[in-house]
Amino acid sequence: QSVLTQPPSVSAAPGQKVTISCSGGSSNIGNNYVSWYQQLPGTAPKLLIYDNNKRPSRIPDRFSGSKSGTSATLGITGLQTGDEADYYCGTWDSSLSAVIFGGGTKLTVL
Amino acid sequence: EVQLVQSGAEVKKPGATVKISCKVSGSTFSDHYIHWVQQAPGKGLEWVGLIDPEDGEGRYAEKFQGRVTLSADTSIHTAYMELTSLTSEDTAVYYCATANDILTDPWFDPWGQGTLVTVSS
C-alpha cells in the first residue's frame, strides 16, 4: 500500500486529454515538491515533471504538472499511442524521512 | 549529457549477497546524490536509499535498513548497492538515478538502465 494514492489505470482516445491524480498528506505532498515519471514498457523511468510543474527542456509541453494542497496532478494533452506507459508521482515524506512514490497509473490510449 | 550505466543481471541463491554498480559519466560525480530504487516484477517503484558521493554518507529506507549498504568510489565515478541475506522477495530490477543535492526535493534524472537481480534456489 503506497503512501501516495494514484488511480490504477486511466484511458482516453488519441488526441484527447487525460489527467492523473496523486493524493497524499501534509507530511509529503502538502509540504514538499512533487515529481512525475513515465515508464514505457521494459524501460527505465524517465523524468517528466519536477518541482510540481517544471518540465525538463526535452519534455514537450503536452505534459504539465500542478499541485494543490495535498494532491498533485499530471496532465497530458494531444494523446499519442506512444504515451501508453506507467506514470508515477514521487516526493519526499518528512515523517518517514524517505522518498515515496505513488503506486503507478497505467495509461491506455484507445 | 549525464549517463548512468549499471552492471549486468545477477542470479543469486537465498541467503547470498549481491553488489551492483552504477557508473556515472558526463557530470561531476560528487555534485549529485545517487539514489537506488527497487521495482519488483509487475510492481511499482520503491525507494531503497541514497548516497552522497562527496562524503559517503548514506540514507536508507526503513524496509532495507540493516541489509543494504550504499557506497561510492569517487576515483572511478561509480556507486554501489550491496544487499545481503537475499530472499525471493528481493527479486527485482534495481535502478540507480542521480538527483539534486536537496534532500527534500528529490527528482531523479537521469536513471540507469536497471539491473535485474533474481534470487532463486
Q: How many CB pairs under 8 A join A and B?
A: 67
User: What mean pLDDT do residues A13-35 have?
Assistant: 97
Predicted local distance difference test score (pLDDT) of residue B45? 98
Predicted local distance difference test score (pLDDT) of residue B62? 96
What string of H, E and C letters represents the secondary structure of chain A?
Answer: CCCEECCCEEEECCCCCEEEEEECCCCCHHHCCEEEEEECCCCCCEEEEECCCECCCCCCCCEEEEEECCEEEEEECCCCHHHCEEEEEEEEECCCCEEEEECCEEEEEC
| Neighbouring residues of B61: CB distance < 8 A, sequence distance ≥ 6 | A98, A99, B46, B47, B48, B49
User: What mean pLDDT do residues B36-43 have?
Assistant: 97
Distance of CA B38 to the CA centre of its chain: 8
Indicate whether A1 pLDDT > 80: no
Residue A100 and residue A88 in contact, taking contact as beta carbons nearer than 8 Å: no
Label residue B31 by pLDDT band (50, 70, 90): confident
Predicted local distance difference test score (pLDDT) of residue B30? 83
Predicted local distance difference test score (pLDDT) of residue A40? 97
At B53-98, the pLDDT tens digits run: 999 999 999 999 999 999 999 999 999 999 999 999 999 999 999 9
Predicted local distance difference test score (pLDDT) of residue B1? 87
Q: Do A50 and B104 touch (CB under 8 A)?
A: no
Predicted local distance difference test score (pLDDT) of residue B26? 87
Whether the bond between B110 and the residue before it is cis, its omega within 30 degrees of 0, is: yes
Of B45, B62, B110, the CB nearest to A88: B45
User: What mean pLDDT do residues A17-46 have?
Assistant: 97
Q: Which residues of A touch B (CB under 8 A)?
A: 2, 32-33, 35, 37, 44-47, 50-51, 56, 86, 88, 90-92, 94, 96-104
* Residue B68 CB coordination number (10 Å): 19
What string of H, E and C letters represents the secondary structure of chain B?
Answer: CCEEEECCCEEECCCCCEEEEEEEECCCHHHCEEEEEEECCCCCCEEEEEEECCCCEEEECCCCCCCEEEEEEHHHCEEEEEECCCCHHHCEEEEEEEECCCCCCCCEEEECCCEEEEECC
Residue B39 and residue B45 in contact, taking contact as beta carbons nearer than 8 Å: yes
Q: What percent of chain A has pLDDT over 90?
A: 96
At A58-105, the pLDDT tens digits run: 999 999 999 999 999 999 999 999 999 999 999 999 999 999 999 999
Mean pLDDT for chain A overall: 97
Predicted local distance difference test score (pLDDT) of residue A69? 97
Q: Which of A11, A13, A2, A37 is nearest to A106 (CA)?
A: A11
Label residue A2 by pLDDT band (50, 70, 90): confident
Predicted local distance difference test score (pLDDT) of residue A88? 98
Alpha-carbon radius of gyration of chain A: 13
